[in-house]
Amino acid sequence: MPAPTTAATLQSCRNTTSTTTATKARFLPHHIAHKVAHYYWSGNAEWIDEGTADFLAAIPENARAGTPVAATNQPCPYARNIARLEELGNELGSKYHTCNYSLGKRLFLDLYRSVGRSRFRKSRRDLYRASLVENPNDRRQGTEAGIEHLREAFQAPGAQPRRRTPGL
C-alpha cells in the first residue's frame, strides 16, 4: 500500500472523527522522523525547515518500502517557486505554511536528484553549519538560513557565485 500524501494525511489527522487508527499508524513513522529532523532544522526560512524535515522523513520510509524518494505532498497552488512564495509571504496566511512543505521538499528533492547523494549530503551539511554561525544583528542563537545560504551551500565547487537564480 503506498504511503499517504503528507497534506492529505495531515488534513485527515486534524479531523479526528474521520481518522482511523490505521491511518494514524501508517503516518506515525513519517511524523516522528519529521519531528526529529526539526531538532536540527528549525529557526531558518520556514520552507528550509519544513522542506528539509519532510524530505528527511521520507528517506527511511522509502528505504523501508524499497521505493525512491518522491514528492508525495500536494503541490502548492499559490506559488510555483520559492521566490514567489517569499514574495507572497503573509498574504497567504495559513496557506503559506502548507506551501513551505511542498515547495521546500520539492526543492530538496530536485537538488538531491541533480547533484547526487554524496554532494547533496555535503551541501546540506554546509547549509546546516551556516545556520549555526552567530549573527550579531539579532538575539537568537545562530543565523536564519535563507535562499542565499542555500545557493552558497549548493554552489558547484569552483563556480563563481551567482547573484540571483530566477524562480528559485
| Model confidence pLDDT, tens digit, residues 124-136 | 999 999 888 876 7
Of the CA atoms within 13 Å of residue 40, those in its CB half-sphere come to: 17
C-alpha cell at 106: 520539492
Residue type, 38: H
Burial of 6 (0-12, 13-18, 19+ CB in 10 A): buried
Tell me: pLDDT of 91 over 80.
Answer: no
> What is the share, in percent, of the chain residues with pLDDT greater than 90?
38
Residues 6+ apart with CB under 8 A from 103: 47, 51, 76, 79, 81, 82, 85
pLDDT band at 19 (very low <50, low <70, confident <90, very high): low
Helix extents (H) in 41-146 = 46-65, 82-88, 94-115, 117-132
Q: How far is CA 123 from CA 26, 30, 38, 100, 126, in A?
A: 31, 23, 18, 20, 5
pLDDT-derived band at 72 (thresholds 50, 70, 90) equals confident
| CA distance linking residue 78 with residue 89, whole number of Å | 11
Rounded-to-integer distance, Cα 6 and Cα 120, Å: 23
- Separation CA 131–CA 122 (nearest Å): 14
pTM: 0.74
CB distance 102 to 92 below 8 Å: no
Question: Whole-angstrom Cα distance, residue 86 to residue 69?
Answer: 26
31: which 3 cell numbers? 511524523
